[in-house]
Structure 1
Amino acid sequence: MRSFDIISMGLKNLFRRKTRTVLTVLGVVIGTAAIVVMVSLGIGMNENFEEQLKQMGNLNIINVTKYRNSPDNTGGPPKEIVLDSIAISKISAIKGIRGVTPVVEGNMKLVSGKYMAYVSVMGIDARTIENFDYPVEQGRLLQEGDTDKILVGGNIPQYFYNPKTRYGMMGPNSKPPVDVLTDKLEVTFDMSYGEKRRQEGIGGSETSEKPPKLYKVKGVGLLSVTNDWQKDGYIFMDYNYLQKLMKDNAKSQNGKQDNYWGMPSTDTSKGFERLMVMVDNMKDVDRVQKEIDEMGYGTNSLADMRKPMQKQAQTIQLVLGGIGAISLLISALGITNTMIMSIYERTREIGVMKVLGCKMNNIRQLFLLEAGVIGFFGGCVGVLLSYLASLVLNTVGRNIMNSGDGGMVGMGMGMGMGMNSGGSKISVIPPWLALLSIVFAILIGIVSGFSPARRAMKLSALEAIKSE
């Protein structure tokens, strides 16, 4: 028999018993939709975990700290390590690293005329800042030689307020009162500067002989808002210049770190507090972190949190996928039952085919084709139904989580399943899952039809012809 004849005969046989064929296909539809939706919930959970981690910082960044817990004495104090230029050179030599920078952090007050803002400040190496994925909305990044220049985080313009009026920062949709790129800017370590009432011991007192010291700075760039608090809520400057300001501030306070939140020590003889390492590929973060650990340095990264979260998502995804697979297994039994019933109804037809010289291989192909077609149509419709169910989950379900009393319950459920409020999706069906599901449904159909096909091949031609 020609391939065209086999296909034509197979389709005719399926449409001969429309009701039974539709019911069998429906079983595959339900099974496919169940397994796709279940797996999509696990994928959505994993993506929400990733989104939450990205809001906490860059997943490609490893922090190298000056303290490391000794494996020989976990109960004792952590071992202190020197993070200096030698450490930077050794770490920079590791394959897969894009950049390494020392980090100096503190807190300051950013002043522009009558407006001011409390800000966190990070001093980094201006020569390597372009390696750390800082998205510039206006202006430029820091460059080598930018001593009194600052790069401003995307949320900082909204932090400005006028202490002489009602206390409070600007709203997220309000126009910032200060243009950080063109207006005059100054910074101070005195966190009470400009306030109506100065508190004793906070940046000096009202009777302090020395007025608060201001340092002129120039904004050269404004970052885009990224929902990463380590970028949006900081101002950045060259670490050498920040250390210089810290030393000058300490000198002006007679060596005392007399400010509200306290600044790190300006003594760099023991190296930096930490280094920040940018890895080219997120897949290499674990390997690079392990190599830095083996050098004896202390490390931490968001990958430390990412591993258990991914493991949890994979476990739940496996359980949900198993539940969906049970439905697909039941549909496979339905296909097998349909094909066996088809053999009993077409026994005489099979006998005639054998007498006319039809090859055994053609009979097997005919039954496998019919089973495969059932799997194909069931898989396609099941995937479409899965997309519809996913749409309902991502709209209705998310609205329930974010509204009313049910929103409080939903919020607890959402956080437990890695779903934060906002634009997160509960169910995610990537193209590969849809395609794989259709292929899997076809394979299930073919496997289910294999046993009936063998039974049809073993029928005696003469006995089959005699049957009524």
Structure 2
Amino acid sequence: MNNLDIFHMAVKNLWRRKTRTFLTVLGVVIGTSSIIVMLSLGIAMDQSFKEQLSQMGSLNIIEVNNYGYYVESGSGGSNGKQVKLDDDAVSKFKKIPGVEAVMAAKSAYLKVASGKMVAGVPVYGIDPSVMEAFDFKVEEGRLLLPTDKDTLVFGKQTTRRFRNPRLRNENFNPWDGNAPQVELISSKLLLTTDMEYGERQDSRVQQDSNYKPPKPHNVKGVGILAESNSEKDYGVYMNITALERLLEEDRRVNPQRTSRGEDRDADKYERIDVKVRDIQQVEAIQEKIKTMGFQAYSLTDMLKSMKETSKKLQMLLGGIGAVSLFVAAIGITNTMIMSIYERTREIGVMKVLGANLRDIRKLFLLEAAMIGFFGGVLGMVLSYGISLILNKVGAGFLGRGMGGSNSVSVIPWTLAAAAVVFAMLVGILSGYSPARRAMKLSAIDAIKTE
């Protein structure tokens, strides 16, 4: 017999016992859909973790800090070398293979004034040339340029922090939706380290007799960042050289006032961010930076822990679904064995007529595979239906879904395809033993069977 004849016989035999075939296929449908739906819940949770972390910042960025010293290799452990966040560190990080960009940052809490409106904001000095590499995007205006000096780019939420201190509003809340709107790009702005600038005179604290309020610096706003749901929304950015110059000028006015920047042995930068080209390299590069003596942190640390939790949950849910498919496999085996008993005489006639033993085995394996395949396909379709219901109904009960995601269930096409193939393999394995039994039947005994 050729393969086409075997296929036609398999279809005919399954169709001849429609009820039993339907019930067996139904078992595979339930088992396959159970596995797919259970795993889809774990995948949705995994995606939810990534969405939450991406809102906190980029998964490709490593934050480098400095909390001590390390012992250089070859020193025998006797000499420790203090590491610093300086230009030398920036140069070392840039040379690490896989690093896309490095951004050193220095910060100061300053006061920005626009007419009578003032706001205390964190001002970050950075290198303007790497802003695009670190995903700074503007909603209005432009980003900083390397040639900019006294220019500022504002985070989206900083506009809410402005208030008029001369108005008696003791219950000022910048997040109540009634905060005054300030035009930061076209207005004349002042920047100062004097946190009492613009406040009502009676609110000024008692100052040192030698203290002289520094002269405010004229600056201009050139851009407002698009909302990113990260710390970028709450900061103000300027060229790091301009910030250092401004702070140095204010220190000269009051040299007796100590400042972190006056410590010669202190780090030049407060933080250095390292952007990695490929997210798969983040962990390796982070470890390399740690071996240099720095403290390095990235969101992948948290993601790794979340993935381990998600993996355990997926294994548990997948195991629950696999029980249903195991029961279906038993049903396939039972169906094929019953088919052999009912078709014993037919098998004997096939052998007498010269049918190859491999063709007989192939016939029964094909029937089992078809049960698994059609059950898998129908189970896949059912899974997408259940997933749709879960996402529409379940999300309403759970707010925004599991872990903050918009989806309670996510079924990638790879999972659906793998489930169909797996169901077909289960069918083949379940039919293997009955197929061998059919091969071993004696032709004479089979023909005599009533």
Q: State the TM-score, normalizing by the size of structure 1.
A: 0.85
Per-residue deviation at 1:385? 2.1
In the TM superposition, what are the counterparts of 1:346-365 in structure 2 within 5 Å? Answer: 346-365=343-362
Structure 1 contact 246–266 (Cα < 8 Å) conserved? no
Q: 1:183 aligns with which of 184, 187, 211?
A: 187
Contact 1:156–1:234 (8 Å) recurs in 2? yes
Q: Is contact 1:156-1:232 (8 Å) kept?
A: yes
Distance 1:22 1:389 in 2: 21
Amino acid at match of 2:447: I
In structure 2, the partner of 1:394 is 391
Q: d(CA) in 2 for partners of 1:236 and 1:367?
A: 72
1:216 to 215, 218, 221: 218
Q: Is the 8 A contact 1:192 1:198 kept in 2?
A: no
Structure 1 residues 398 and 255, CA gap change in structure 2 (3 angstroms): farther
Q: Give distance in 2, aligned partners of 1:427 and 1:165.
A: 52
Residues 214 and 253 in structure 2, CA contact (< 8 A), matched pair in contact too:
no
Q: 5 Å matches for 1:57-72? A: 57-68=57-68
**What is the rounded CA distance, in whole Å, between the counterparts of 1:393 and 1:197 in structure 2?**
60
- Any conservation in 2 of the 1:66–1:80 contact (CA below 8 Å)? no
2:247 partner amino acid: M
Shift of 1:268: 5.8
2:174 maps to which residue? 169
| Amino acid in structure 2 at the alignment position of 1:241 | A
Q: How far apart, CA to CA, are the structure 1 residues paired with 2:263 and 2:159? A: 32
- The answer to which of 443-452 and 130-139 deviates more is 130-139
Runs of 5+ unmatched residues, structure 1? 72-77, 258-262, 404-409
Contact preservation (8 Å) 1:116, 1:161: yes
- 1:407 paired residue number: none
| 3-state SS of 1:178 partner | coil
Aligned to 2:290, which of 290, 293, 305? 293
Do the aligned residues in 1 keep the contact of 2:211 with 2:254 (CA within 8 Å)?
A: no
Residue 317, structure 1, aligned to residue 318, structure 2 = no
Task: Classify 1:209/1:300 alpha carbon distance in 2 versus 1 (closer, same or farther; 3 Å).
Answer: closer
User: Within 5 Å, which residues of 2 pair with 1:189-268?
Assistant: 189-196=193-200, 199-201=203-205, 210=212, 213-227=215-229, 229-256=230-257, 265=261, 267=263
Which of residues 139, 159, 162 is equivalent to 1:137? 139
For 1:242 and 1:39, the matched residues in 2 are separated by: 52
Q: Do structure 1's residue 30 and structure 2's residue 30 form an aligned pair?
A: yes
**SS in structure 2 opposite 1:142?**
coil
Name the CA shift for 1:3/1:105 in 2 (closer, same or farther; >3 Å): same
Q: Which amino acid aligns with 1:340?
A: I
Residue of structure 2 equivalent to 1:280: 277
For 1:169, give the aligned amino acid: P
Change beyond 3 A, Cα 1:32–1:190 = farther
- Residue of structure 2 in register with 1:308 after alignment: 305
Provide Cα deviations, 1:369-396, integer angstroms capped at 9, x if missing partner: 2111111121122222222222233332
Distance (Å, rounded) in 1 between the aligned partners of 2:202 and 2:134: 39
1:419-464 Cα shifts (integer Å, max 9, x gaps):
03xx432222111111111111111111111111111111122222
The partner residue of 1:454 within 436, 446, 449 is 436
Match of 1:443 among 425, 442, 445: 425
Partner SS state of residue 221, structure 1: strand
Does the CA contact (< 8 Å) of 2:67 and 2:294 recur in 1?
yes
**2-structure distance, mates of 1:331, 1:154:** 57
Normalised by the length of structure 2, the TM-score is: 0.88
TM-align CA RMSD: 2.9
Contact 1:67–1:80 at 8 Å: present in 2 too?
Answer: no
* One-letter amino acid matched to 1:185: L
The answer to whether the 8 Å contact 2:64/2:271 transfers is yes
- 1:406 aligns to what? none
For the pair 1:433 / 2:415, whether they are aligned, the reply is: yes
Query: Equivalent residues in 2 for 1:44-193 (5 A)?
Result: 44-68=44-68, 81-163=83-165, 164=167, 167-169=172-174, 177-193=181-197
Once the 2 structures are TM-superposed, how far is the Cα of residue 198 of structure 1 from its aligned partner? 5.6
Cα distance in 2 for residues equivalent to 1:395 and 1:194: 53
CA–CA distance in structure 2, aligned partners of residues 268 and 465 of structure 1: 102
- The gaps in structure 2 that reach 5 residues or longer are 72-79
Letter aligned with residue 396 of structure 1:
V
The 2-side partners of 1:338 and 1:68 are apart by 71
- Deviations 1:264-300 (Å, cap 9, x if unpaired)? 5454653322211111111100111111112222212
- Residues 266 and 464 of structure 1: is their aligned pair in 2 closer, same or farther, counting only changes over 3 Å? farther
Q: Which amino acid aligns with 1:121?
A: V
- Report how far residue 161 of structure 1 moved: 4.0
- 2:264 and 2:15 map into 1 onto residues whose CA distance is 83
1:96 Cα deviation (Å)?
A: 0.3
> How many angstroms apart in 2 are the aligned matches of 1:147 and 1:266?
22
For the pair 1:270 / 2:252, whether they are aligned, the reply is no
Compared CA separation, residues 346 and 264, structure 1 to 2 (3 A): farther
SS of structure 1 residue aligned to 2:438: helix
| Compared CA separation, residues 130 and 431, structure 1 to 2 (3 A) | same
Q: 1:80 to 1:455 in 2, by over 3 A?
A: same
Contact 2:173–2:179 under 8 Å retained in 1: no
| Corresponding pairs, count | 439
Q: CA deviation at 1:121?
A: 2.0
Distance (whole Å) between structure 2 residues aligned to residue 186 and residue 301 of structure 1: 35
